[in-house]
Amino acid sequence: MTYIVLIVIAIVLEVLADILFKEWTIKNQNIILYTGLSIYFIGTYFWAMSLKYELLSKSIVIFSVINLICITLVGLLYYNEQLSLINKIAILFGILSVLLIEL
Q: Integer distance in angstroms from the first to the last C-alpha of the chain?
A: 18
**Chain segment 79-91, per-residue pLDDT in tens:** 999 999 998 998 8
Count other C-beta atoms under 10 Å from residue 65's C-beta: 19
pTM more than 0.95 = no
Instruction: Please count the residues of the chain.
Output: 103
Residue 36 DSSP SS3:
helix
Average pLDDT for the chain:
92
**In this structure, is the dihedral angle defined by the CA atoms of residues 22, 25, 27 and 31, taken in order, positive or negative?**
positive
| pLDDT of res. 67 | 92
